[in-house]
Structure 1
């Protein structure tokens, strides 16, 4: 099994920790991260309204906690910072902070971005509650043309 340690806890000043079970919070954070990573990969901006409509739906009151934790996880795990570009409309853009980009190529010159593989594996682990069977990871990687042993398929 592949496990990730918990990166952050809800801050008490943002939300009453008793109001939302940790499992539900983790699921919302993972879903928001998946959405933001999709937007990052598509080189799109994301608005608070869009995040509420497409991801949090019935949990709008938890937006500040979920957004804060998802942003922190993206920066710590994926090297992507969520920056507000329009404070009035609450529109955000994701920018790389570790020198990794979705356009960075493998050293062999193949067409698959390095950071994209990292983002794929980490988001898969986060979506599955910090624990993902190795077979699921390799299954997802094989869909991208990666084989075990470091070989890639063109």
Structure 2
């Protein structure tokens, strides 16, 4: 794996580790792996699963054990959990178990989004994670977010306007042009603003592919909270659900 991607993977694992509770002592392996071996195994599995994702292939626990963990089977659960957290938090990829008795896994974009553009020189890194961030920020800000607010929030995640990001590349074009063209966001001038200021809203493709409740559940999962612990967001998401259900009953 390229040094750049190894660095991005480790930073992603660190982010995931900070956002998730530590494993209990009972879950930890009795003989911890050396840190360099742990990082190597995480890097290898992330690269492998990104390849599976880009090719829309399933994988199995047996396949991963055979490929990476022959000598460290007792550490599989720990490493696989960290890898899944990294894929979810950084790359916007959800690892779902399809057949628990057979340990068969699929890799799908978070929130059901169909944006599957693969970027990077090795074509193995997905930008879906940044898309998830943008639509989450808009939702949290009352369904419209000023450009200043979006960049301030992204800056806290080490994503800066005009600066090449280790995973997402240069973000401005992606956010203000690519996502607009794909219909995921609306980016326009705030009416009567002088000097001109701009804001982001959800685009029609976001409304078509996901729901506010799914986004709220994602936010709750990332922050280890319950969806109803965000009362105003929960009320908004529930209202959307009820309106959609009413529309279906009316045949709309």
| TM-score (structure 1 length as normaliser) | 0.62
Mapped pair 1:52 → 2:103: no
**1:68 positional shift:** 0.4
TM superposition shift of 1:57? 2.2
- The structure that is helix-richer by fraction is 2
SS in 1 for 2:39: helix
How far apart, CA to CA, are the structure 2 residues paired with 1:47 and 1:16?
21
Alpha-carbon distance in 1 for matches of 2:90, 2:103 = 24
Shift of the 17–73 alpha-carbon distance from structure 1 to 2, 3 Å rule, reads: farther
Which consecutive unaligned segments of at least 5 residues does structure 1 have? 103-112, 123-136, 138-149
CA distances 1:114-151 after superposition (whole Å, capped 9, x unpaired): xx1165389xxxxxxxxxxxxxx8xxxxxxxxxxxx8x
Cα separation, 2, equivalents of 1:121 and 1:86: 25
Matching of residues 32-47 of structure 1 within 5 Å:
32-47=45-60
Between the aligned partners of 2:65 and 2:52, the Cα distance in structure 1 is 14
Cα deviation for residue 101 of structure 1 reads: 3.2
The number of equivalent residue pairs is: 119
Which stretches in structure 2 are left out of the alignment for 5+ residues? 128-165, 167-172, 174-252
Query: Taking CA–CA contacts closer than 8 Å with sequence separation of 6 or more, which of the two structures ends up with the larger relative contact order?
Result: 1
Which stretches of structure 1, 4 residues or more, deviate above 6 A after TM superposition? none
Deviation, structure 1 residue 17: 7.3
The Cα shift of 1:100 comes to 5.7
- Alpha-carbon RMSD across the aligned residues, in angstroms, is 3.6
Aligned partner of 2:74 in structure 1 is 61
CA displacement 1:48-98 (0-9 Å, x = unmatched):
000001122211111000100000000001000100000110000011015
Determine if contact 2:91/2:126 at 8 Å carries over to the other structure: no
Q: Distance in 2 between matches of 1:47 and 1:53?
A: 10
Is the aligned partner of 1:117 residue 2:130?
Answer: no
Match of 2:195 in 1: none
Question: Could you tell me how far apart the structure 1 residues matched to 2:29 and 2:56 are?
Answer: 34
- The DSSP-based 3-state class of the residue aligned with 1:19 is coil
